[in-house]
Structure 1
Amino acid sequence: MLLEPLLNIVDLYCERDERVLFEGLSFGLVAGELVQIEGANGSGKTTLLRILSGLSGDYEGDVFWCGESVEKVRDDFFSSLLYFGHQPGVKGMLTPVENLQWYSAIHPALLAEKIFPALEVVGLKGYEDVPCHSLSAGQNRRVSLARLYMNTAKLWILDEPFTAIDKSGVAAKERLLADHVASGGSVILTTHHDLTSCGSVTKINLDQLMGT
């Protein structure tokens, strides 16, 4: 029995600076699936993730959530989505706890009661009340990653989530992705990291799509 896609992308077209990034891009994402977007730098990987996350409307084509246009079910879609961008998205004047409290206040899928356990998991126990401008780039990345341990969102869209993370952090992230997919969650991500330990991975190469 074939599963109906949670997220369905139909005939997507996008260009930047008079250069076509991708066209005719269609694929579906079902519950329990991990999709890895591949391609050279500048091929449009981050642009695609921003489109799928609702952060960019500069495209043609259709994006459906549970069979409905995302434009018609925006509230349900965004409450079911966690987007992790290429930049940490951490406010330097706030502490890790304050940053995560702010995120949980604006996103219903992030549970505030999990802030301290999440910070401990990502290796920031003892740094909860240190202003983030005093932390290293890797530690700030961990503050942002802590959101993944707080959330109940079905769909994760992650842009290079393994950047600036040490070996132990990478292993923990691999387990987290595998657990999320095994529990019926879905993931779309970009990464140069080998994801074989995360189970079955569907790969979409934007370079091959454009014949480059």
Structure 2
Amino acid sequence: MRLTAQDLAVRRSGRRIFSGLSFALGPGEALMVTGRNGAGKSTLLAVLAGRLKPEAGTVTASGIGEATLSECLHVVGHRDGLKSPLTAEENLAFARDLLGAPTASPRAALEELGLGHALRLPVAYLSAGQRRRVALARLLVCRRPLWLLDEPTAALDAASQDVLAGMMARHRAEGGLVIAATHQALGLADARELRIEAPAAKAARPAVAADEVWW
């Protein structure tokens, strides 16, 4: 798979988030998206995932046959996206059945993340770090070549961060792509960096038109 973003621009609620953003990734490559809070890192991932339409520019993928880009990616965002009443195993089984192309059992995925003991516990009873590891375990239960990770080490201890680094290294060795919005290095060897700079703040105005929305 090869992913190309060309001259992306995004505006939300009348505010330009970024513009002229371009990059290309091939098999086994990784991209770290950096920038201060509010610069647009999560917004870029939303565009790549197809959840947000850019004002300008294109996102294209080659080498995926007749599949769509959304069918070829995993997203791990700020929110874990887990169903609290379901067990860790049930959450992963649901993801596996929904996404298809299974590669690991829920049990095997949880054991790799050090959560084999939590297999049948409702995720409502898990700590923030444990819930994060269940969310990351979804990356393992089915094969998708592009991983979009938004601050993936949030709430993780050092040991779990090492496990994630190993997961990403193995994924890349198998030809997968990783794009991570992060403030940390993440152990991504030879990763390129895309830094998003927040646009300069506008000067204060004496009045705001009724149809304008400001952040």
**For this structure pair, what is the TM-score category when the shorter chain's length is used for normalisation?**
0.7 to 0.9
Per-residue CA deviation, residues 86-107 of structure 1 (Å, 9 max, x unaligned), is: 1111110100011111111210
What TM-score, normalized to structure 2? Answer: 0.86
> What is the identity percentage for the equivalent residue pairs of Structure 1 and Structure 2?
37
Match of 1:80 in 2: 72
| Structure 2 partner of 1:39 | 35
Residues 1:79 and 1:205: Cα distance change in structure 2 (over 3 Å): same
**Cα distance in 1 for residues equivalent to 2:55 and 2:132:** 29
Q: Aligned ranges for residues 7-156 of structure 1 at < 5 Å?
A: 7-66=3-62, 75-111=67-103, 113-156=104-147
SS of residue in 2 equivalent to 1:126: helix
- For the pair shown, the structure with the greater C-alpha radius of gyration is 2
Q: Which runs of 5+ in 1 are unaligned?
A: none
1:159 corresponds, among 141, 150, 153, to 150
Counterpart amino acid of residue 158 in structure 1 = L
Per-residue displacement from partner, 1:31-84 (whole Å, max 9, x unpaired)? 11100001110011001101101111253211111189xxxx6x4322321111
8 Å contact kept, 1:8–1:67: no
TM-score by length of 1: 0.87
Of 174, 192, 200, the match for 1:202:
192
Contiguous gaps of at least 5 residues in structure 2:
202-215
- Which aligned runs of 4 or more in structure 1 are off by greater than 4 angstroms? none
Q: Quote the residue 2:211 is aligned against.
A: none
Residue identity matched to 1:76: T
Counterpart residue type for residue 193 of structure 2: K
**How many residue pairs end up in the alignment?**
201
RMSD: 2.2
Structure having the larger proportion of residues in helix: 1
